Amino acid sequence: MGTSAELARYEQRFRRAGLPLFIEDFSPTHDIFTRATPVLGFVFLAEMLGATSLKWPFWVNLLAVLGGLAVLIGGFAVLNRLRGRPLWSLPSRFGTPELATFVLLPALLPVLSEFQFTQFLGVAVSNLLLIGLVYAVVGYGLIGTTVWGLQRLGSELASSVASLVRALPLLLVFSLVLFMTADMWQVFAGMPTAFIVFMGVAFALISNLFLVLRLPQELDRIEHDAAAGPPLRRLQRLNLSISLMIRQWMQVLVVSSGVGLFFVAFGLLAISRHVYELWGISPGNWSHELVLSNHPLLLSATLVKVASGIAIFTGLYYSISLMTDATYRTEFLDNVTAELRDLFTDRTRYLELRAQLHEATSAHP
């Protein structure tokens, strides 16, 4: 017979795996915003500073802070009375009234103190964005997925550092050829840092677009291979999609960072100040000279730019290859499928326990 304790253990495992929507009856008011009460409460109280002004003396600002605190606490006390809760209790569930109070009440403080209606809009919009961020992070298990990925990447890198090189043999050779050309250095030496950042963001969006187009097929394959339990609902498939995307981002980040650091180290050894002068390239806004075994080394802004550019190209290539190349699929999706198969099996058992518990409750009201 299924028990509440067993159900709780399964639900905890779903959360840790970054798949909280696998939990039946998952509710934003109970499972998302209530779990984020400490964060929301801290922000709510911190926003009492909106009642202060730089033009006022210290003692006036102190009175304004105390007055703002009284308004915030009093507002929630009134809400508690309207909701039938004890006057000074913390809300056990965050529904629409509680969220509306969190958004609007602190935004009223600048209006009450200095009639700052522009600030009212700024605080209200910021609180709305915070609520959306909390919903995304907690509701779709972003923290659990990130922790899972960090644990997995740490164990993989600890067991075999050479796996990174095996994953990108041809690309590394091609990148080495590019790295040793004056044209490559001249292009990135004259490129502003903001352009390189923009290029990284643009390539990340391109790879994400490709992943979004490919994910429905991969999800169908994973669900078919698992072959356990009823089909996933739409929100559960979305939760699984986000989980897979985060895992891919982390793999791409590790590979790109590894390649970038490799080329920084290689450039220190291979590209001396004399080579800069032969190629007619400036070291950039900053540079540091080092000495290793009586050999001069030059760490420069240009070297970091070139290494970053190659790392960005590598990340784009690797992210697309994860979905198209059989070798990379074996390294990524096949391993993920094996783990998800266990989670699907747990989900089937979890649903069976829920049904048994519901039947027992119905039979003995």
* pLDDT (0 to 100) of residue 63: 83
What are the DSSP E strand ranges found in the chain? 287-292, 295-300
Rounded distance between C-alpha atoms, residue 283 and residue 231, angstroms: 58
- Contact between 4 and 356 under an 8 Å Cβ cutoff? The reply is no
Instruction: Give the Cβ contact number of residue 106 at 10 Å.
Output: 27
At residue 230, φ and ψ (nearest 5 deg) are: -70, 160
* pLDDT (0 to 100) of residue 227: 60
**Angle at 21 (CA atoms; ends 17, 22), nearest 5 degrees:** 70
pLDDT, tens digit only, all 365 positions of the chain: 447 788 888 888 888 777 887 888 776 666 677 777 778 778 887 877 776 777 788 888 788 888 888 887 888 788 888 877 787 776 666 777 888 888 888 888 887 777 777 888 888 898 889 888 888 777 766 776 666 666 665 555 544 444 455 555 666 777 888 888 888 898 888 888 889 999 989 988 888 887 777 777 777 777 776 666 678 888 788 888 887 777 777 778 877 888 899 899 999 988 888 889 888 888 888 889 888 888 888 899 999 999 999 988 888 887 777 767 666 666 666 666 677 778 888 888 888 888 887 777 766 55
Tell whether the torsion through CA atoms of 340, 346, 352 and 357 is positive or negative.
negative
* pLDDT (0 to 100) of residue 352: 83
User: What is the DSSP secondary-structure string of 275-306?
Assistant: HHHHHT----S-EEEEEETTEEEEEEHHHHHH
Rounded distance between C-alpha atoms, residue 207 and residue 201, angstroms: 10
